[in-house]
């Protein structure tokens, strides 16, 4: 399904909700794709289980070392601190925005749409998120819905969004379908 496709996972150095990284990562691998961990700094990133430190994961490349041309899609895991930090790093915001500019699919879960708000790519798009982002997304011009998964094709690319870890099964399936084309 994803043979010869490489999917970027963009994360901050810490604050990633671990299951929102590991489950989509496994889904990409099981579908025959190659996941790559991209961050704002080299080394390792620190994942969390809500507020508790969890595992560390090695970074494959930094946002300054890669190009959107190297990837077929993008996953933005959540966690509160992760997208909050990403949206303050111009290179990370640029990298996320370039997937929209290139018409490549993007999948974002939980708090991850904060990075997309900063990239100014949610205007006119339908999406979901963790409920606390509802007002932020609406203020940025998005049509927010409280659903397990929202697949929006009314823009330059396919955008898949989900609310929380409980939505991961539906999120992973929709994301793999989007990445498969």
β partners of residue 108: 76, 161
Rounded distance between C-alpha atoms, residue 181 and residue 174, angstroms = 11
Active-site choice (50, 111, 152, 172) = 111
Rounded distance between C-alpha atoms, residue 127 and residue 36, angstroms = 25
Q: Is 110 labeled as catalytic in the residue annotation?
A: yes
Residue 19, by phi and psi: left (phi above 0), alpha (psi -120 to 50) or beta? alpha
Q: Is 50 labeled as catalytic in the residue annotation?
A: no
Token readout for 66 is 């890669």
- Catalytic positions are 110-111
């Amino acid at each position: 399904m994803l043979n010869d496709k490489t999917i970027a996972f963009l994360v901050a150095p810490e604050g990633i909700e671990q299951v929102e990284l590991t489950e989509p990562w496994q889904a990409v691998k099981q579908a025959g794709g190659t996941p790559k961990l991209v961050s704002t700094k080299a080394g390792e990133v620190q994942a969390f289980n809500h507020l508790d430190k969890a595992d560390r994961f090695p970074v494959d490349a930094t946002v300054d070392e890669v190009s959107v041309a190297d990837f077929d899609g993008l996953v933005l895991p959540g966690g509160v601190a992760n997208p909050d930090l990403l949206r303050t790093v111009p290179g990370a915001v640029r990298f996320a925005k370039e997937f929209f500019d290139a018409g490549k699919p993007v999948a974002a879960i939980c708090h991850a749409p904060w990075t997309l708000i900063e990239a100014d790519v949610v205007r006119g798009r339908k999406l979901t998120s963790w409920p606390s982002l509802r007002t932020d997304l609406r203020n940025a011009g998005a049509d927010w819905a409280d659903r397990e998964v929202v697949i929006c094709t009314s823009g330059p690319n396919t955008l898949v969004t989900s609310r929380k870890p409980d939505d991961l099964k539906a999120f992973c399936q929709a994301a793999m379908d989007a990445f498969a084309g």
